[in-house]
């Protein structure tokens, strides 16, 4: 077994106790990268191997800077990293090398991580399929003919392939949750504001997206959340840093879970997905929880209209200057052009109406959480689909009217900033993974992670390694 099979927490402890050195871990990473990444394409803009080994050796005899001391991490390509090519998946930034770190990269660096490259993402993070004209498509380690999801698809695929021990991601419309389901790992969207944004552009109205952690264990997710969280004085609505990883024990007896399923059919799911989620719910019941099916608590179409108006409005604002330049517009992906052009049609009255819908849904969700400790839904409506598709256009005979309607099931969480842990639910008949969301009330991040940890101990789905990866390892890597 490679050192890269270990969890980030285990590697951190091995390095801290000097049973393993950072250079040994880096050597294990560098052995795997060319063997596995060429087909998966999860890690892009890889750094020079000699530079990485030199950086790791320099840490061998140093006391740990933080819990990530000496661990090889690749940062999502939507995050600027000082001195490392950061493209945002766009040909407009094909050769862009930032002079400074974004906040996520800065916090990972302070915790001791060694940056090995970036993880692939769709252009501008638009869409839950990680392909772009700069680097191409990221493939699913469980089936190389299929997508790894997105926009944190590179991160999820790298985790599943044991190319990183833990990973950062971001989530506006399921970008931490959908790829986690597709790649049999954990993705956690924290309560909005817990992981602060950078002080760029609008930081008052843009409250739909957040950065967050991904991992092969809930403990790793909790530890990385501790690293990423904490106030940024330069942006509003901050929340204080807290601890999560050292308080993961709980008895689930008596826990009340509300199962929202496919929202009364409003969110069509491919055959087998609800069945796999039912198996996940059964695990919670065996741990002592009571699961109760719920009727749709709010009109799904109202949530969708609020969502697309707010999302379009924000994208038109943040990307409008690119669209206004005809030469740059020609290099934008069609989905990004759609977002901007739709957003330019949104009126002030529509923005206000969307905010009212959002407020009403938050109040209704509060009523649910007065009765239930947790809500649950699928993390994805479809199985990992063919890598050559742009996006699924039909689900169960229902046509998808936008490029992102097929992942609408994540909207109820994103619209009101709730914490949501995407947990694996095993594999369907075709051997493909899926998962479900464990959703808590705002600010209940610690509770959601603690429940997720009990689920992980009972299932340990991410320990089921991708067969294609095992085959490549056996053929090309020493035992």
CA 4 to CA 2: how far, in whole Å? 5
CA 382 to CA 407: how far, in whole Å? 8
Cα first-last separation, the chain: 7
Q: Answer yes or no: is pLDDT of 47 > 90.
A: yes
Closest by CA to 372, choosing from 463, 439, 466, 304, is 439
% of the chain surpassing 90 pLDDT: 95
Q: Mean pLDDT in the chain?
A: 97
User: What pLDDT is recorded for position 477?
Assistant: 86
Quickly count: other Cβ atoms within 10 Å of residue 181's Cβ: 33
CA 133 to CA 65: how far, in whole Å? 37
Q: What tokens were used for 183? A: 């790649």
Q: Answer yes or no: is pLDDT of 478 > 80.
A: no
According to DSSP, the residues that pair with 377 across neighbouring strands are: 437
Q: Answer yes or no: is pLDDT of 7 > 90.
A: yes
Residue partners of 291: CB distance under 8 A and separation at least 6: 257, 259, 281, 284, 285, 376
User: What pLDDT is recorded for position 468?
Assistant: 81
Which pLDDT band holds residue 469 (cuts at 50, 70, 90)? Answer: confident
Residues 303-320: pLDDT tens digits?
999 999 999 999 999 999
Residues 213-226: pLDDT tens digits?
999 999 999 999 99
CA 405 to CA 119: how far, in whole Å? 25
- Domain ranges for the chain, please list them: 3-476
Quickly count: other Cβ atoms within 10 Å of residue 158's Cβ: 33
Mean pLDDT of 412-425: 98
Asked whether the beta carbons of 47 and 117 are under 8 A apart, the reply is yes
Q: Answer yes or no: is pLDDT of 1 > 80.
A: no
Within 103-245, where are the H helices? 103-110, 153-160, 178-183, 218-228
Phi and psi dihedrals of 439, rounded to 5? -115, 130
CA 139 to CA 148: how far, in whole Å? 5
CA 138 to CA 135: how far, in whole Å? 9
5's enclosing H/E stretch is none
CA 314 to CA 412: how far, in whole Å? 18
Residues 359-387: pLDDT tens digits?
999 999 999 999 999 999 999 999 999 99
Closest by CA to 374, choosing from 289, 315, 299, is 289
Within 165-272, where are the H helices? 178-183, 218-228
Please state which architecture CATH assigns to domain 3-476. Answer: Alpha-Beta Complex (3.90)
CA 178 to CA 392: how far, in whole Å? 14
Residues 106-157: pLDDT tens digits?
999 999 999 999 999 999 999 999 999 999 999 999 999 999 999 999 999 9
Mean pLDDT of 341-352: 98
171's enclosing H/E stretch is strand 166-171
Residues 253-292: pLDDT tens digits?
999 999 999 999 999 999 999 999 999 999 999 999 999 9
Asked whether the beta carbons of 37 and 43 are under 8 A apart, the reply is yes
Residues labelled catalytic: 76, 151, 175
Helix, strand, or coil (residue 323): helix
User: What pLDDT is recorded for position 216?
Assistant: 98
Asked whether the beta carbons of 210 and 192 are under 8 A apart, the reply is yes
User: What pLDDT is recorded for position 479?
Assistant: 65
């Amino acid at each position: 077994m490679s050192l890269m099979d270990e969890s980030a927490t285990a590697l951190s402890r091995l390095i801290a106790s000097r049973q393993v050195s950072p250079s040994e871990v880096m050597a294990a990473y560098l052995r795997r990268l060319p063997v596995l990444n060429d087909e998966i394409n999860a890690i892009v803009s890889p750094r020079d191997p000699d530079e990485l080994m030199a950086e790791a050796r320099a840490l061998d005899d140093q006391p740990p800077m933080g819990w990530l001391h000496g661990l090889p991490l690749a940062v999502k390509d939507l995050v600027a990293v000082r001195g490392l090519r950061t493209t945002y998946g766009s040909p407009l930034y094909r050769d862009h090398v930032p002079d400074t770190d974004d906040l996520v990269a800065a916090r990972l660096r302070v915790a001791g991580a060694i940056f090995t490259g970036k993880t692939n993402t769709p252009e501008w993070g638009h869409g839950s399929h990680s392909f772009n004209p700069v680097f191409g498509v990221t493939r699913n380690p469980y089936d190389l003919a299929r997508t790894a999801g997105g926009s944190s698809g590179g991160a999820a695929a790298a985790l599943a392939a044991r190319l990183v021990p833990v990973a950062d991601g971001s989530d506006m419309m399921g970008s931490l949750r959908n790829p986690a389901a597709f790649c049999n790992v954990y993705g956690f969207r924290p309560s909005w504001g817990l992981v602060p944004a950078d002080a760029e552009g609008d930081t008052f109205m843009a409250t739909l997206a957040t950065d967050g952690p991904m991992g092969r264990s809930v403990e790793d997710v909790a530890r990385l959340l501790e690293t990423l969280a904490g106030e940024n004085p330069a942006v509003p609505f901050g929340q204080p840093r807290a601890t999560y990883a050292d308080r993961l024990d709980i008895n689930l007896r008596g826990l009340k879970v509300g199962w929202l399923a496919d929202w009364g059919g409003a969110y069509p799911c491919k055959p087998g997905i609800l069945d796999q989620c039912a198996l996940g719910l059964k695990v919670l019941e065996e741990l002592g929880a009571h699961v109760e099916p719920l009727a749709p608590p709010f009109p799904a179409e109202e949530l969708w209209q609020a969502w697309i108006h707010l999302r379009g409005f924000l994208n038109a604002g943040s990307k409008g200057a690119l669209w206004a330049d005809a030469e740059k517009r020609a290099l934008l992906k069609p989905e990004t052009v759609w977002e901007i052009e739709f957003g330019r049609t949104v009126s002030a009255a529509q923005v206000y109406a969307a905010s009212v819908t959002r407020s009403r849904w938050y109040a209704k969700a509060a009523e649910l959480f007065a009765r239930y400790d947790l809500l649950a839904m699928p993390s994805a409506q479809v199985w990992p689909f063919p890598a050559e598709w742009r996006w699924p256009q039909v689900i169960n005979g229902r046509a998808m009217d936008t490029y992102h309607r097929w992942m609408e099931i994540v909207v109820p969480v994103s619209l009101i900033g709730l914490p949501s842990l995407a947990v694996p639910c095993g594999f369907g008949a075709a051997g493909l993974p899926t998962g479900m969301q464990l959703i808590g009330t705002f600010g209940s991040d610690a509770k959601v992670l603690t429940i997720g940890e009990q689920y992980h101990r009972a299932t340990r789905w991410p320990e089921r390694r991708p067969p294609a990866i095992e085959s490549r390892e056996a053929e090309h890597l020493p035992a």
